[in-house]
Structure 1
């Protein structure tokens, strides 16, 4: 299941990056490292099979460029079906979208997600972290007497990291809600009044 979730996140990241422009495999791999983070480097051994799968599903298309005089460079481009699928995945994101291994990928493409999807993911992530933080605090109390100073410090650092992310998520949620409520109050004054 973890492998299939990773494959789904790689697919989402590829489709999201190809929204901007077509890319060669090397460029795509470089950009994926930026989206997925330096600690999740994508190997060519996982990138190209994923690209073939996306092409087989008709979510991307390929074209060759032999202008370099060497091997043909293949360019990958998003299809209309790929754009629709990408948007559908973003908008129907559920509990897997707020897990550690997929939240960052969804967040990287938040600008293309609906407001409802953004709020659902942010609130789900915050809820998941609050549960984890409560469990970690309980565990830390139980282990406090048995832990050496360094282990205790490591646990404290982990708790602070979770608390920081929860505060950050709360700020993002408030910003989303404020922007939405302000948009509801905005009246379009550019249209002439209806005189009928």
Structure 2
């Protein structure tokens, strides 16, 4: 799956997730995406509004003119989630595939963990940990192989990357332990979840947004 397609799918999922909390106008959606989701910190209206238009065309969201604005002020469009959009969000949030633990995908999924089942959270966290451990092992092998040929600055950069990955692995271990030790019927079932890429990838791309006038 191409990077552009994957990013569009992530944006659509994030928009559905934010609208699942409450209706919002385009400016607020962009602000929340920029502030809370690192994958979209540079998001422009030129990217957001085509996404909203696509979601509107699919019947996943609605748009209404905001009421109560003063005379002469430009009417803002408020977006909300339709029942079909709610179903789509719930469907996507229950999926686990390798994209769920890649860099941008993991950040977006983590942002909506409060509405994600424990078993799904665990599988994503374990998948992310496995991916980072593979990345760390590769980095250490490469560093050891070329250590004598590296200047001090490049070596320092590599150490910094390894240490950052190690810190994230420790953080993931803490989250995984907390999930496994949490009370509830799903905690035991989650322990059996497989974190590897054996889960067949699902296509969360069939959701989209619509154009809006801000």
Q: Same fold (TM over 0.5)?
A: yes
Q: TM-score, normalising length from structure 1?
A: 0.89
The CA deviation at 1:38 is: 7.9
Match for 1:149 among 152, 160, 167? Answer: 152
**In 2, Cα distance between the equivalents of 1:56 and 1:101?**
26
CA deviation vs aligned residue, 1:57-89 (integer Å, no higher than 9, x gap)? 111100012623322210000111111111111
Matched positions, count: 182
Q: TM-score, normalising length from structure 2?
A: 0.82
1:7 maps to what in 2? 8
Find the residue that maps to 1:144 and give its secondary structure: helix
CA contact (8 A) 1:13 1:35 kept: no
1:48-67 alignment runs, 5 A limit:
48-65=49-66, 67=69
CA deviation vs aligned residue, 1:112-144 (integer Å, no higher than 9, x gap)? 011111011101100000111100000010111
CA deviation vs aligned residue, 1:87-115 (integer Å, no higher than 9, x gap)? 11111131101001211000000000111
1:22 maps to what in 2? 23
Match for 1:77 among 64, 70, 80? Answer: 80
**In 2, Cα distance between the equivalents of 1:35 and 1:81?**
25
**In 2, Cα distance between the equivalents of 1:82 and 1:39?**
21
**In 2, Cα distance between the equivalents of 1:26 and 1:36?**
15
State the 4+ residue runs in structure 1 displaced beyond 3 angstroms.
none
**In 2, Cα distance between the equivalents of 1:93 and 1:44?**
30
Unaligned ranges ≥5, structure 2: 186-214
Find the residue that maps to 1:117 and give its secondary structure: helix
By relative contact order (CA 8 Å, sep 6+), the higher-ranking structure is 2
Q: Aligned-residue CA RMSD in angstroms?
A: 1.4
